[in-house]
């Protein structure tokens, strides 16, 4: 299995294009919509899928506005939210037991890929 650094990109695609970039270029597919105002991506270690699930069930506002999240096999939380919901995302991650000062937070555009 090749790692990301040595894998060759598909013909005509940049290795940095990502899923959103590939979907944008597929013939017959609409473009990837972006939310105005950008988004925030929060990554933090030590969150189980069960804890994320239970927290979303217990918090209808977070469930509706944030739309969920992911937990990688190694226990890394990945949460992408509209920038307007940064306060809610910060509160929700704190409720999960995440120390905001140790979380990795990035700001950028949010893409939805169907």
Give the tens place of pLDDT for each residue, 63-97: 999 877 899 999 999 998 888 999 999 999 999 99
12 belongs to a structural domain: no
29 belongs to a structural domain: no
60 belongs to a structural domain: yes
Helix, strand, or coil here: 30? coil
107 or 87, which is more confident?
87
Task: Please report the pLDDT score of residue 107 as a whole number.
Answer: 87
Task: Please report the pLDDT score of residue 36 as a whole number.
Answer: 52
58 or 16, which is more confident?
58
Give CA 73 to chain center in angstroms: 15
pLDDT confidence band for 111 (50 / 70 / 90): low
69 belongs to a structural domain: yes
What is the domain extent for residue 73?
A: 37-108
Question: Any idea what DSSP says for residue 26?
Answer: S
Q: How many domains does the chain have?
A: 1
CA atoms 41, 92, 53, 102: torsion sign? positive
Task: Please report the pLDDT score of residue 108 as a whole number.
Answer: 83
Task: Please report the pLDDT score of residue 24 as a whole number.
Answer: 41
81 belongs to a structural domain: yes
- H helix and E strand count, the chain: 4, 4
83 belongs to a structural domain: yes
To which H or E segment does residue 107 belong?
Answer: strand 104-108
Give the tens place of pLDDT for each residue, 18-74: 334 433 444 444 444 454 568 889 999 999 999 999 999 999 999 999 877 899 999
Mean pLDDT within 7-26: 40
Task: Please report the pLDDT score of residue 39 as a whole number.
Answer: 87
- The label of the residue with tokens 């979907």 reads 23
4 belongs to a structural domain: no
64 belongs to a structural domain: yes
CA atoms 77, 79, 49, 98: torsion sign? positive
- The label of the residue with tokens 């060759």 reads 8
CATH number for the domain that contains residue 66: 3.30.70.980
């Amino acid at each position: 299995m090749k790692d990301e650094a040595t894998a060759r990109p598909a013909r005509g695609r940049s290795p940095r294009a990502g899923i959103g970039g590939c979907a944008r270029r597929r013939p017959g597919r609409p473009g990837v919509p972006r939310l105005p105002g950008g988004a925030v991506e929060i990554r933090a270690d030590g969150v189980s899928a069960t804890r994320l699930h239970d927290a979303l069930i217990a918090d209808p506002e977070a469930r509706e506005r944030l739309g969920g999240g992911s937990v990688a096999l190694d226990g890394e939380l990945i949460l992408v939210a509209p920038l307007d919901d940064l306060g809610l995302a910060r509160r929700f991650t704190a409720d999960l037991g995440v120390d905001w000062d140790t979380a990795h937070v990035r700001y950028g555009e949010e893409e939805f890929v169907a």
